[in-house]
Amino acid sequence: MGMNIGIVGLGLIGGSLALDLRQQHTIFGVSRRPDTCKQAIARRIVNQASTDLSLMAKADVIFLCTPLGAIEATVTQLLPHLAPNAILTDVGSVKGAVVRAIAPQWQNFVGGHPMAGTAESGLDAALSGLFVGRPYVLTPTDSTPTTAVGTVAELARSLQSQIYYCSPEAHDRAVAWISHLPVMVSASLIAACLSESSPEVLNLAQSLASSGFRDTSRVGSGNPELGRMMAEFNRDEVVRSLHAYRHQLDQLITQVEQSKWNSLQQRLTQTQIARPSFLSDPQNLGKPSVKEA
């Protein structure tokens, strides 16, 4: 049964959602930029597009796909236009701050986080099938209507995503570990190498760097604005994970300084054994405590 789907923010995520959902639904898109609206219509990514949020009056479900920092202000402008039963959901990579800001303002709000992306951004980068097999986390609270959760879950399922349910707090703590902390760890590696004071050694290091450095430094050279937003909107959990990380690092430094080679090797054996548990195929069933049955 086709619905009217609103998408506010026609970038990589909003555009990719539109490409998948337009198969079964009518898509209304809003962008700040008239050019983006034109392009979205010309490429038939949306059925209608506007720079004016009043277009959302027609929508049964609205996906908020702006950058994290714009979600709250967008909702304030959007609320006067919404149909009374409209369901609002967002795609932000942090959930606590977003849910705390929006849930009190709109009953039918469901926090969401489709965990997919590419190194690109903008409508040009939008892809159909971006969410296939990827996690789509929903973070309803005790007061979120189950019908609203069900409708958003149904849409996420139609993208062929794997749906996970958890609290906003559990989401933010989990993504701090596996998404936000790696960015900070990786960026600090690059920064440390740059602190080498001998040009000869720095030059040599740059020449000899290979796949190990390449992989470990990759997420530390991602979009700086996105990295800042992660830290800004998930500050408490990012700080907590950074302190836990520094504690582990300090233990390792002590082992090296004190030549505790057996202890160091034990530590590296533990991390070698543990890593595969973080690499399970997201399409693989077997995390029933958090994933949809």
Q: Is 26 among the residues that bind its own copies (CB under 8 A)?
A: no
Q: Is 227 among the residues that bind its own copies (CB under 8 A)?
A: yes
Q: What is the CA radius of gyration of the chain?
A: 22
Q: How distant, in Å, are the alpha carbons of 106, 137, 154, 218, 234 from that of 149?
A: 14, 11, 9, 35, 23
Among 76, 154, 209, 283, binds its own copies (CB under 8 A): 209
Q: Is 265 among the residues that bind its own copies (CB under 8 A)?
A: yes
Of 147-176, binders to its own copies (CB under 8 A) are 164, 166, 170-171, 173-175
Q: Taking CA 181 as the corner, what is the angle to CA 180 and CA 186, rounded to the nearest 5 degrees? A: 105
Of 104-123, binders to its own copies (CB under 8 A) are 115
In a 3-state reduction of DSSP, which class is residue 31? coil
Of 41-60, binders to its own copies (CB under 8 A) are none
In a 3-state reduction of DSSP, which class is residue 116? coil
Q: Taking CA 80 as the corner, what is the angle to CA 94 and CA 30, rounded to the nearest 5 degrees? A: 60
- Strand ranges (E), the chain: 4-8, 26-30, 48-50, 61-64, 87-90, 109-110, 112-114, 135-138, 162-165
Q: Is 73 among the residues that bind its own copies (CB under 8 A)?
A: no
Q: Is 1 among the residues that bind its own copies (CB under 8 A)?
A: no
* Total site size for its own copies, rule CB under 8 A: 99
Instruction: For its own copies, give the closer residue by CB, 54 or 284.
Output: 284
Separation CA 117–CA 171 (nearest Å): 18
Q: Is 182 among the residues that bind its own copies (CB under 8 A)?
A: yes
Among 58, 125, 245, 292, binds its own copies (CB under 8 A): 245
Q: Is 285 among the residues that bind its own copies (CB under 8 A)?
A: no
Q: Is 216 among the residues that bind its own copies (CB under 8 A)?
A: yes
Per-position x/- string for 125-144, each x denoting binding to its own copies as judged by CB under 8 A, each - no binding: ---------xx-x-------
Among 47, 50, 128, 217, binds its own copies (CB under 8 A): 217
Give, as one character, the DSSP assignment of residue 180: I
The span of 43-51, 73-81, 139-147, 266-274 binding its own copies (CB under 8 A) equals 266-274
Residue 135 near residue 161, CB atoms below 8 Å: yes
Among 35, 142, 143, 289, binds its own copies (CB under 8 A): 289
Cβ at position 63, least distance to its own copies in Å: 20
Among 120, 124, 256, 283, binds its own copies (CB under 8 A): 256
Residue 181 near residue 245, CB atoms below 8 Å: yes
Between helix 224-233 and helix 235-257 the angle, nearest 10°, is 100
Provide the token pair at 149.
């959760």
Q: Is 270 among the residues that bind its own copies (CB under 8 A)?
A: yes
